[in-house]
Amino acid sequence: MTQKTSELPTISLLIVDDNPGSLELLATALEQPGLQILTASDPEEALDLVFQEHPQIVLTDLVMPKMSGLELLERIVHFDPAIEVILMTAHYSTESAVEAIRKGASDYLNKPISIPALRDRFRATIEDIRRRQKALELQDELRGNAQFERIIGNSPAMWELFSRIRRIAPHFRTVLITGPTGSGKEMVAQALHRLSPAASGNLVTVNCSAVVETLFESELFGHMRGSFTGATHDKVGLVEHASGGTLFLDEIGDMPLATQAKLLRTIQYQEVLRVGSLQPRKVNVRVVAATHRDLRAMIREGKFREDLYYRLAMVELRVPALAERKEDLPLLTRHFIEKFSQQFDKRIRGITPRAAITLGRYDWPGNVRELENAIGHACMMCLSDTIDVSDLPEYLRSPEQAQSEIARAVTDKVTVPDSESAAPASLLESTERQLIADALAKTSGNQSEAARLLRIGRDALRYKMKKYGLIGSRSN
């Protein structure tokens, strides 16, 4: 019963009814170009067909022996929430309609239903599906244009940033990048370097919060043999290494005051003094500094040099928080889904509207990096080819949804065969370990901050770090 038109891709519909007469009637009535119709007279057979043929639409009767239409609905939604499931019943009630919609049905029909009405309805459903496919293609196209030097954004705030980067990159000597944690300051630094005349030189990145204070100057400016215990060779510092290119100083707010003075000298005179040497060496380096801190406040507290600040802040680029550009969420989400499905070798096509809404409701204090982690988590958890709310990290879901998830997990456990029951636990553990490691990385090992991010107590965090062997990864 397959019919094809030349341009449009075929949409497939599975009809499930235990009454062979009405099954045939429906199949004949709904026949139309571009629609492939499959039929099943029993829910088990229907599920097999869903798994094998992956239809876009399923029309099923509510009351059937062996398995009810609602149970079939749940199994289909679990397999792929993007499948449109339409239930029909002669026992219509508002309460049962609510239950069906809540479980993910796209429509709930009262029988008897006239054939012309049903045909109209299906024509509209098919149009909807085609429109959605088109929108998805369009979004892909848009995303191609919405990238600037690997930074993704198509919002006014990002256009402004891109335009400033483009104008600044050819000429800058020093730039200060400000913006909250996880907003992508390092990517901006990379774009500045790539678009600068020094692009062929090195881009040397120094994370100032990760360098041990006593070694800072030797790391940055190099040292001479014998200048301190352990200095067995002459060493070229990172500034010299970046000469002819760009030096990126991330978290500049964490640089010790004494080093700040020497950095200023380097920027002003384009020369470095290796530790233990009196002979200045000429360098030619562009400096990009970044911070999520309020440097003016640090100046008032005497923790940051005012002269260095004014030198750096002559050109300032502010990277917006994700909350300021929520219109970029769909683009970013698709980008990360693509990235992680490749990484995990899964075929994940997208995200359900309600999961997208859940992402939109959240304020993203950890910005793009937090979104990346959340999508990574979802791609890991996702068993179908579409991410749904239940795949998202629990803290993103509303308490109500989280609750019903727990209920579902418990019922699922009852039906899971013993041989498989070990797998979900280890997946859960590896995800938990990953989240903890991410939180520690994000906070540079600060346990209190990591615990706050994870919304657990510090003691619970320590216990879990011990359990997963994450103790001792702190640098201080």
Partner 1 sequence: MKRILVAEDRPASLELIRTVLESIGYEVIEAADGQEALEKAAYTSIDLFLLDLQMPKLDGFEVLQQLRRQSRFQHTPIIAITASAMESDRERVIAAGFTGYITKPVDIRFLRSEMERLLK
**Which residues would be at the binding site for partner 1 (CB under 8 A)?**
92, 94-95, 97-98, 101-102, 104, 106-108, 110, 121, 124-125, 128, 353-354, 356-357, 360-361
Q: CA nearest 224: which of 284, 257, 272?
A: 272
Q: 361 or 413: whose CB is closer to partner 1? A: 361
Residue 350 CB, shortest distance to partner 1, in Å, is: 15
Radius of gyration of the chain from its Cα atoms, rounded to whole angstroms: 29
Q: 221 or 362: whose CB is closer to partner 1? A: 362
Residue 467 CB, shortest distance to partner 1, in Å, is: 38
Q: CA nearest 250: which of 184, 297, 340?
A: 184
Alpha carbon distance 208, 60 (integer Å): 61
Contacts of 293 (CB under 8 A, 6+ apart): 253
Residue 393 CA neighbour count, 13 Å, CB half: 21
Residue 101 CB, shortest distance to partner 1, in Å, is: 5
Please tell me whether residue 352 adopts helix, strand or coil conformation.
coil
What are 181's two structure tokens?
């944690």
Residue 77 CB, shortest distance to partner 1, in Å, is: 12
Residue 375 CB, shortest distance to partner 1, in Å, is: 18
Q: 32 or 401: whose CB is closer to partner 1? A: 401
Q: 359 or 382: whose CB is closer to partner 1? A: 359
Going by DSSP bridges, is the β-strand pair 286-291/246-250 parallel, antiparallel, or unpaired?
parallel
Residue 380 CB, shortest distance to partner 1, in Å, is: 25
Q: 106 or 270: whose CB is closer to partner 1? A: 106
Phi and psi based region of residue 367 (left: phi greater than 0; alpha: psi -120 to 50; beta: remaining): left
Q: 98 or 406: whose CB is closer to partner 1? A: 98
Q: CA nearest 317: which of 205, 188, 137?
A: 188
Alpha carbon distance 378, 346 (integer Å): 12
The DSSP element (H or E) to which 73 belongs, if any, is helix 69-79
Residue 217 CB, shortest distance to partner 1, in Å, is: 52
Contacts of 339 (CB under 8 A, 6+ apart): none
Q: 101 or 138: whose CB is closer to partner 1? A: 101
Q: 95 or 420: whose CB is closer to partner 1? A: 95
Going from the C-alpha of 61 to that of each of 38, 55, 65, 83, 84, the distances in angstroms are: 15, 17, 11, 16, 14
Alpha carbon distance 266, 287 (integer Å): 10
Residue 361 CB, shortest distance to partner 1, in Å, is: 7
Q: 43 or 104: whose CB is closer to partner 1? A: 104
Q: 4 or 354: whose CB is closer to partner 1? A: 354
Other CB atoms within a 10 A radius of the CB of residue 200 amount to 8
- Maximum separation of any 2 CA atoms in the chain, in Å: 98
Residue 42 CB, shortest distance to partner 1, in Å, is: 26
Cα dihedral across residues 311, 316, 319, 324: positive or negative? positive
Other CB atoms within a 10 A radius of the CB of residue 143 amount to 17
Residue 337 CB, shortest distance to partner 1, in Å, is: 18
Q: DSSP secondary-structure letter at 320?
A: P
